[in-house]
Structure 1
Amino acid sequence: MRYEFGRGIADYVVRPTDGLWSVAPGAVLTFWSAADGGTQYTDLQDALSTPITQVTADDQGLVPTFYGPDGVVGMWADAGGVSRAWMEAHTTGTGGTDAPPGSVRDWLNVRDYGAVGDNVTDDTVAIQAALNNCVMGGIVYLPVGGYRTSAPLTIPPGVTLQGTHSNLMAVPGLTDPQCYIKPLASFVGDAVISFLDEIDGGYATISAEHRIVSVMIDGADVTAPGVDGVRAAGNIQNVQLRDVTVRRVTGAGVHTEANEGKFPYSWRLQRVMVDNTGWHGMAFEVMTDITLMDCQAIGCGASGFEIANAANSHMLGCRAEWNVGNGIHITGDWAVGTGSGGMLIGGCSTDRNGANGVLVDATGNPPIQIENLHVRRDGRNNGAGGGGYAGLACDGATVPVLVGMVTCYPGVDDDGTQTNSPEFGARFTGCTYVSVDSGFLHAATAGWSDAGDNTILRRGLNIAERTGPTNAPVDAFAPPTDVAGNLNVGGYAALASGQSAGQWNIWAGQAKALNLGGAGGGIAIAEGANARMGVSTLAAGTVTVANTSVTANTRVATFRQAAGGTLGHLSTTKVAGTSFTITSSSNADTSVVGWVLYEPA
């Protein structure tokens, strides 16, 4: 018995992989027994029962009525694109042995497309066939198993790849459940899973809304360098990774980059673990509106998080530990235009990274805000410590860096070996503007390090320091507080003691602008060579006092400290920058004369 195919869009699926249900007008279709390879069905008949081997769509993209081979109720249609699509006979709903699972196409099981999941068989073609034939908004399901691949898997727009479980770190004595994608040693490609933009993917719409949920990628058998776990290039929007683990790939765990000047945009990563990769844990290049929540990068070959311009983004509750480079690196050109602003980093921590815990060396104008940062034992430097590394480092940053609370705690390796690090709790070099409100900074050499070449570095009033090892720290709980620029205090500023190396200005326009309110309070002025106050003795009614601080406008106030001889009236003359002379109207005046020098404001 032959079954009827064709007639209208509702009776078949032939589409590009972005989920659009269409076929090009005039497209020539051939029919096959499998999604890839297989046997071509050539025993076809048109509506008049004339034998044919292929079918041509009409000028509206509709497939005319035709009949399939005897007993066949479903076939894979090939319109010359990158993949085939399933077509069922519209005169039966029973399906057949060639058909994918039932008639439900928004939840596809990769086992029904030939995937084995036995940790041996190459399942690349089967998994990709399921992905290609999933409608937008649908799910491709990976049951428990070890799925080996030899080439990148491409997730189409709007499709979710969902597994059952994503392992985190290896635990001694615990065998990992087999629920992962594991590339073969023969794997060829730049990433285990790829997202393609509309340019490279040939999609009719913007590439967006991809999902990976509860999937682990294990690259332990990959030998080729630079293989990423997940890679995306170009305008790929609104991607979500949730409960995803990537470990032991030779490239980055997650890597986004440009394609023809366009970048991925607005991603959400939740509970993503990247473990022991060859390059950065997560590398994002100009990723606007990204949100990272409860993500971790551990043991990676470069930085844990390499973020080069992530305007209007959030990084919350993330951890970077034991990475070879920096734990978190905020870098790149963040521009100076209106843009979407800077980035908020909140509640994050670092531990035992080889370089700095957090390094900010970004350029541009958007502010980077860091709140509640906890850094520990960073600056490991291959176990040697030192190297100028810090828990928090800002080096040549022109972006404003605003830090709320930061704590640093030093230490050695977990087994008690290697050198105590980091060298500095917080270190600032050549930055435009950095403000740190509060913190507790314990480091091997210094809690706070100012290289002296920052344009403005503001240190808050509540920052304590410690140095040395944790079992014998040296406390510096009340170090100097440096405030660059103006410090405006509403109400009273009560100071138990004070020192000033700069000029003081009092702008109050009242008679008692400077008020020494305590009984017995007074003003003391140092005396000595070129001082502004002193005493001199008249000889024959005159004395010249050498003093280079005298100016043409200096007011010289004189008074008789101790009378001597025949007293007269006192007067003064000045030689700017050299001296002033006190003269009595009596040539027999030998008094000791006190004097004070004032300048007009």
Structure 2
Amino acid sequence: MARYTFGGGIADYLVTNRDGLWGVAPGAVVTFYSDADGGTQYTDLLSEAGTAVTQITADDNGLLPVFQGPPDVTLMWASAGGVSRVWLKARDADTAAMTPGSVRDWLNVLDYGAQGDGVTDDTVAIQAALNACPMGGIVYAPGGSYRTSATLSVPPGVTLTSTHANLMTVPNLVDPPCYIKPLATFAGNAVISFLDEIDGGYATISAEHRIDRVMIDGSDLTAPGVDGIRARGNIQNVQLVDVTVRRVTGAGVHTEANAGKFPYSWRLTRVMVDNVGWHGFAFEVMTDISLMDCQAIGCGASGFEIANAANSHAIGCRAEWCVGDGFHLTGDWAVGTGSGGMLFGSCSTDRNGGNGFLVDAVGNAPLQFENIETRRDGRNNGAGGSGFAGFAVDGATMPVIIGLLTSYVGVDDDGSQANSPQYGARFTDSAYVSVSSGFLHGDTAGWSDGGGNAVLRRGLNIGERTGPSNAPVDAFAGPTDVAGNLNVAGYAAVASGQSNGVWNIWDASPKALTLGSAGGGVAIKEGANARLGVSTLAAGTVTVANTSVTADTRVGTFRQEGAGALGHLSVTKDPGAGFTITSSSNTETSVIGWVLYEPA
């Protein structure tokens, strides 16, 4: 029969309180029972030295010393002489022996003394559960309001989970109280943190942290710069699923460097950041990150601030009503073999104070945007204007490739404030920007070339509008159709061109085809059956074989080199066979140039 170890640490005796706060006074005598009320007293105990004892005395700090319980007993109810008893677990026992239906890697914070009553400081209890959880295990916080006074650290390989994460607090809507809510006296730089091997003292890299169905409510925070979730250093393969962070005074989710190393390969799915003091999502050099259905709303800076996220993607993400830009792609994304770009697909913005999207990043890798919708951005504290756009590229050296892009204007939901954005899309001082298609509506202009761009390519299928949404002014380019014709408003300028088909010029002006540069000319291929050539008269005549000659062909002749007695030239056609050039002088031997024309 085995004996199990109790005591010796805070996680071993902080337990669920059943009738109010329960504490152990220094020097208190503690006895143990088989039930919360009544039951049998356990008297077969062993001290740390192996001496048989019937009770345990707390030390000067109110901590229970290490001792062993009765044979095969892993759960006891402890009494310090008061009205209540508390649940005490063995340190080295399988949790399944203590709680029917549970397993060792599933720890309930209530069993470690957390209350979730919206009043009690549950920091020590929750952290005790997190510290006690083995890698691969789960720490569970049932529905409740868990107040904290300091940062909670989730160890590597541990999952912190709860039951519900409210997306937003809606007036007059009853939401279940299920969140971690820092006290006004909170001290720390984040409500929840992940530590790397340097700060955490781990033997290996820090990885595989999980937060699932957890809400952080920072509405009582007073200190500035408190993030919801922060990670610093080489912290890999983190997953945040169904997480909400609201009203913290810093960023919602924040990653940063430590000793030159950065977080890596995170997956964020259905993460909501609501009305935080700084950026919603602030990522500093976050390689291989996946953002799926994440939203930032009402943030004090940008919704998504991303400074180098090589080989990453954001799918179905939204930024709305943020003070700064909706999505800001910035910083140095590098040029070496480890550098890379990022893909944004089906992302949208609405009523952000700055641009919907702003790209000013430097580097060589491409940034790709597909199916992007922007709406009412450039709010600018309600004033609009100031050069803001639904999509802006300014000073970027990274190639920016945009597929389908839409921008739409508007005012606040109540109909007040200025119409914005000023531009649907604006591009300035950038290395390479290509926009394939879209519909761009801006208050001043749909498309704006701010100048200084090395390469700015505009696709043919881009519509433009200006003015307010209820009275737009169309500035549509000519359409492209499916009948084989391409109509381009204005003019088309090409550096070189080739055609394997017939060219038609329908302009009715005398200069329908103009070669406008000095030295420009017309070149026609010579050879058998060609439309241009030279032939030499013999005794005033020459017959030219050319099967391209028709009954309507016009044959233009001119002397290339005169010889003999010159006469007047005439032409006789033989359709499908050629033509004969004849001089009125039967002694002329000139070299005659000729060109064949066809009527349109």
TM-score, normalisation: structure 1: 0.72
State the AA in 2 paired with 1:91.
P
Secondary structure class of the residue paired with 1:186: strand
Counterpart in 2 of 1:96? 76
Instruction: Give the match's secondary structure for 1:152.
Output: strand
Cα distance, 1:209–1:85 mapped onto 2, change above 3 Å:
farther
Q: Measure how far apart 1:350 and its partner are.
A: 0.1
Q: Give the aligned partner of residue 473 of structure 1.
A: 472
Change (3 A) 1:459 1:134: same
State the alpha-carbon separation in 1 of the partners of residues 12 and 489 from structure 2.
89
CA distance in 2, matches of 1:111, 1:86: 23
| Counterparts in 2 of 1:450 and 1:532: CA distance versus 1, 3 Å | closer
Residue 245 of structure 2: aligned partner: 246
Q: Deviations over 1:413-433 (max 9, x none)?
A: 000000000000111011111
Return closer, same or farther for 1:409/1:30 CA change in 2, 3 Å cut-off.
closer
Matches within 5 A, 1:531-550: none
Tell me which residue corresponds to 2:13.
34
From the superposition, tell whether residues 67 and 475 of structure 1 become closer, same or farther in structure 2 (CA, over 3 Å). farther
Q: What residue is the counterpart of 1:322 in the other structure?
A: 321
Match status 1:390 vs 2:389: yes
- Counting only pairs closer than 5 Å after superposition, residues 115-514 of structure 1 correspond to structure 2 as 115-339=114-338, 341-478=340-477, 494=485
Distance 2:501 2:115 in 1: 88
2:54 to 67, 70, 78: 70
Q: CA deviation at 1:452?
A: 2.2
- Structure 1 counterpart of 2:334, which letter? A
Rounded to whole Å, the distance in 1 between the matches of 2:515 and 2:160 is 83
Give the secondary-structure state (helix, strand or coil) at the position aligned to 2:110: helix
Query: What letter matches 1:285 in structure 2?
Result: E
Amino acid at match of 1:99: L
Unaligned runs of 5+ in 1: 6-10, 15-28, 44-50, 56-65, 482-491, 534-557, 561-566, 570-601
Query: What is the CA–CA distance in structure 2 between the aligned matches of 1:263 and 1:527, rounded to whole Å?
Result: 59
Distance 1:342 1:199, change over 3 A: same
SS of the aligned residue for 2:420 comes to coil
The answer to whether the Cα contact below 8 Å between 2:190 and 2:230 also exists between their aligned partners in 1 is yes
Give CA deviations for 1:488-537 in whole Å, capped at 9, x if unaligned: xxxx98456887686865679xxx9997799x999767799x9999xxxx
- In structure 2, distance between residues paired with 1:222 and 1:302: 18
For residue 594 of structure 1, what is the aligned residue in structure 2? none
- How far, CA to CA, are the matches of 1:131 and 1:161 in structure 2? 8
Shift of 1:92: 1.7
User: Partner amino acid for 1:323?
Assistant: C
The residue identity in structure 2 corresponding to 1:472 is A
Deviation at 1:338, TM superposition (A): 1.3
Equivalent residue runs for 1:554-565 within 5 Å: none
1:70 offset after TM fit, Å?
A: 2.6
CA contact (8 A) 1:467 1:474 kept: yes
Write the distance in 1 (CA, Å) between the matches of 2:356 and 2:10: 58
Shift of 1:302: 0.1
- C-alpha change, 1:234 and 1:513, in structure 2 (3 Å) is closer
TM-score (norm 2): 0.72
Gaps in structure 2 of 5+ consecutive residues: 16-22, 30-44, 78-86, 90-94, 522-556, 560-565, 569-600
Q: 1:297 to 1:516 in 2, by over 3 A?
A: closer
**How far apart are 1:307 and its partner, in Å?**
0.6
State how far apart, in whole Å, the 1-side matches of 2:28 and 2:51 are. Answer: 11
Q: Aligned equivalents of 1:108 and 1:527: distance in 2?
A: 83
Which digits, 9 at most, give the CA deviation of each residue in 1:303-360, with x for residues without a partner? 0000110011110001100000000111111100111521110010000000000111
Q: What is the alpha-carbon distance in structure 2 between the residues aligned to residue 170 and residue 504 of structure 1? A: 58
Using the alignment, how far apart are the partners of 1:527 and 1:393 within structure 2?
A: 38
Flag the 1:497–1:320 CA change in 2: closer, same or farther, 3 A.
Answer: closer
Aligned partners of 2:256 and 2:262 also within 8 Å: yes
Q: In 2 relative to 1, CA 300–88 (structure 1 residues): closer, same or farther, beyond 3 Å?
A: farther
Shift in Å at residue 187 of structure 1?
0.4
Pair 498,385 (structure 1): closer, same or farther in 2 beyond 3 Å: closer
Distance 2:404 2:130 in 1: 46
Q: Which amino acid aligns with 1:268?
A: R
Change (3 A) 1:259 1:506: closer
TM-superposed deviation, 1:172: 2.0
The amino acid across from 2:54 in the alignment is: D
How much does 1:144 deviate?
Answer: 1.1
Deviation at 1:174, TM superposition (A): 1.1
CA distance in 2 between counterparts of 1:360 and 1:228 reads 25
The one-letter code matched in structure 1 to 2:240 is L
Q: CA RMSD in A?
A: 4.0
Q: Find the aligned partners of 2:258 and 2:284 in 1 and give their Cα distance.
A: 11
Indicate the residue corresponding to 1:18 in structure 2. none
CA contact (8 A) 1:31 1:41 kept: no
> In the TM superposition, what is the alpha-carbon distance from 1:93 to its structure 2 partner?
3.1
- Cα distance change on mapping 1:524 and 1:291 into 2, 3 Å: closer
Secondary structure at 2:129 match in 1: helix
Q: Which amino acid aligns with 1:277?
A: V
Q: 1:459 to 1:94 in 2, by over 3 A?
A: same
Kept after mapping to 1: 8 A contact 2:463/2:475: yes
* Percent of aligned pairs with the same amino acid: 65
Q: Distance in 2 between matches of 1:333 and 1:222?
A: 33
User: Which amino acid letter does the alignment assign opposite residue 300 of structure 1?
Assistant: C
Are the structure 2 counterparts of residues 38 and 497 from structure 1 closer, same or farther at C-alpha, using a change threshold of 3 Å? closer
Q: Once the 2 structures are TM-superposed, how far is the Cα of residue 205 of structure 1 from its aligned partner?
A: 2.3
1:4 Cα shift? 7.3
Q: 1:88/1:283 Cα in 2 relative to 1: closer, same or farther (>3 Å)?
A: farther
Cα contact 1:401–1:433 (8 A) shared by 2 = yes
Q: Secondary structure at the match of 1:386?
A: coil
The one-letter code of the counterpart of 2:73 is G
Seen in structure 2, the aligned counterparts of structure 1 residues 201 and 40 have a Cα distance that, compared at 3 Å, is: farther
Displacement of 1:250 in angstroms is 0.3
| Structure 2 CA distance for aligned equivalents of residues 285 and 499 of structure 1 | 44
- CA apart distance, 1:41: 9.3
Q: What does the per-residue CA deviation read over 1:167-191, in whole Å, with 9 as the maximum and x for residues that have no partner?
A: 1112121133110100000000000
Q: Which position in structure 2 is the counterpart of 1:488?
A: none
Measure, in 1, the Cα distance between the counterparts of 2:68 and 2:159: 24
CA distance in 1, matches of 2:413, 2:329: 27
Task: Name the CA distance, whole Å, in 2 between partners of 1:501 and 1:130.
Answer: 69
**Per-residue displacement from partner, 1:60-81 (whole Å, max 9, x unpaired)?**
xxxxxx4574357x999x9xxx
Letter in 2 for 1:349: S
| Corresponding pairs, count | 483
Name 2:530's counterpart in structure 1: none
In 2, the alpha carbon distance for the partners of 1:522 and 1:394 equals 43
CA, structure 1 residues 206+501, in 2 after alignment: closer, same or farther (shift >3 Å)?
closer
